[in-house]
Amino acid sequence: MTTLPEANAKFAVDLFKVLATEHQCDNLVFSPVNLTAGLGLLAYASGCEQADQIEKVLHWDEVKECDKPRSRSLGHSTTRLRRAQEKVETCPRPRPRPEPTKPEATCPRPRPRPEPTKPEPTCPRPRPRPEPTRPEPTCPKPRPRPEPEQPKPCDKRRVIHRPAPCPEPEPEPRCPRRDVPCYECEEPEGIHTAFSKILATLNEPSSNYTLSFANKLYGNKDIAFIQKFLYCALKLYLTEVENADLHNAPEEVRRLINLWVEVQTHGKIKDLLPKDSFDCLAQLLLVNALYFKGQWEVKFDKELTEEAPFYPHYADEKECHSVQLMHRKGVYNAGTIDLCNVQVQVVEIPYKNNELTFVLLLPVDCNAEALEQLEDGLSHEHLLDLSCHLKAIEVDLAIPKFSSEKSIEANEYLNLPDLTDHEKADFSGATTTEGVALTQLVHDAAIEIDEEGGEEPEPVPCPKDRRPRREPVEIRADHPFLYYIVHNCTQSIIALGRFAKPE
């Protein structure tokens, strides 16, 4: 059975191949885990058939099986993981519970219940209660304390006034609020619940990296969202759902969205939505953005960073490209591997505490055909299992210092045409308004790669070895390469991209 990290990696590779074909000469970067969160929310908001289409694109249909047809109510996800089905098979075990009915013969046992009534004679115990009244004579002791401070009598007045306007009717309007957390968004074994645990882990604060999500679903103000969906979208996908006047004030809404995304990403993603990116007919707009910057386990020395030539593919021979190249010699998990009949240098560069890893895939051959062949043959196993083929060796590493950002209208690259069709779209899990369709799913990912990180560890003294020391393996990324950033605990692909040329 396919695991959830494997399914997410399959989706990452599928979309990357589509983007790589459409943008052969450009830098690419997107966040598979965040885009999966956006599509997962849309699946949760969809009716049965539409949800199945989205889950097929995400490969979630390989993780779970449908044992019953789903209803179109918000709790439509009656699908379960196979493990959950096994639990259902073992449910007959509770049948022996009727045996406890035999204790009915032991009904006499309640007779000792009067025993607790025996404490009744101990009622005199409350007599010591007047003892707390004894402190009453001591009350005058605190009284002189407030006497020098006249404001405290004012406090007493406040205490008197507070209970007066607080007749118990006040909690009544709060009662509906108490019911909100009672929503059961999905069965505990459901796919949405499983993915929500990944998101919760990724959103835990860390001093070793900055990972910021900016996800929000906007609907025109005439769309009536189901209250339960508002709650579950936030609980499962950490995504707020908000009504906005998309029809009458699209430009004002666009500026507000851009400002919100800029704040959420610490000013790194600006002007997400260009002018006239949507018109007054917009209905649903899903904003899906992520910013990442991490600190290396061992930093690169800034003094060694140099401007060096970079050799992009499809470049004019007259053009000269240069890049800031960072240098470091150290021990990394690395190796030269045959991937898709291409010799590829692979190196893992860990971030602090090994929470995340930057993986570099550099074709040995500098020509464009080698990179294209690598992109065409890339698979989810390559993203998750490359470590098994690497070993710790000394490396003379040189990689570009760069920042990359890419914004895409993701729904154009996914085979989900029904989402944007007003006649076919089905968002009955999110709204009672009919004829609602998705206008845009805007995805943006921004990452920064620089020298910052931890200090160089002190060298460990080694016994003298007469064997000649091997020269470090040189890995010099001065021509186009692929890379990805993986969260090691959840095996989530934070970013997947191609560095084709300096910008």
The percent of residues in the chain predicted with pLDDT above 70, rounded, is 73
How many C-beta neighbours within 10 Å does residue 55 have? 23
| In a shared domain, residues 424 and 455 | no
User: Distance (Å, rounded) from C-alpha 128 to C-alpha 424?
Assistant: 75
User: Distance (Å, rounded) from C-alpha 268 to C-alpha 259?
Assistant: 11
| In a shared domain, residues 347 and 434 | no
| In a shared domain, residues 199 and 285 | yes
Domain extent at residue 483: 302-402+449-459+470-499
pLDDT at 468: 64
Cβ–Cβ < 8 Å for 444, 258: no
CA angle 440–441–446, rounded 5-degree value: 130
What's the chain's average pLDDT? 81
The set of residues, in sequence order, having a beta carbon less than 8 Å from that of 187 and lying 6+ positions away, is 77, 78, 80, 84, 193
Cβ–Cβ < 8 Å for 47, 426: yes
Per the structure block, which two tokens stand in for 66?
A: 């449908």
Number of helices (H) and strands (E) in the chain: give both, helices first: 14, 16
| In a shared domain, residues 362 and 383 | yes
Per the structure block, which two tokens stand in for 179?
A: 């019911």
Count of structural domains within the chain: 2
| In a shared domain, residues 397 and 414 | no
Q: Which residue matches tokens 């789903």? A: 70
Q: Is the pLDDT of residue 156 over 50?
A: no
* Mean pLDDT computed over 165-169: 43
Instruction: Specify the DSSP class assigned to residue 73.
Output: S
pLDDT at 149: 45
The verdict on residue 102 lying in a domain is no
The verdict on residue 278 lying in a domain is yes
The percent of residues in the chain predicted with pLDDT above 90, rounded, is 66
Instruction: Give residue 340's pLDDT band: very low, low, confident or very high (50, 70, 90).
Output: confident
The set of residues, in sequence order, having a beta carbon less than 8 Å from that of 492 and lying 6+ positions away, is 5, 8, 32, 33, 198, 202, 486
User: Distance (Å, rounded) from C-alpha 449 to C-alpha 295?
Assistant: 9
Q: What is the largest CA-CA distance in the chain?
A: 104
pLDDT at 157: 37
The verdict on residue 152 lying in a domain is no
Q: What is the CATH number of the domain that holds 216?
A: 3.30.497.10
The verdict on residue 138 lying in a domain is no
pLDDT at 462: 58
Q: What is the CATH number of the domain that holds 376?
A: 2.30.39.10
Least confident span in 19-33, 82-96, 189-203: 82-96
| In a shared domain, residues 286 and 313 | no
| In a shared domain, residues 314 and 278 | no
Q: Which residues pair with 257 in a beta bridge?
A: none
pLDDT at 38: 98
| In a shared domain, residues 392 and 454 | yes
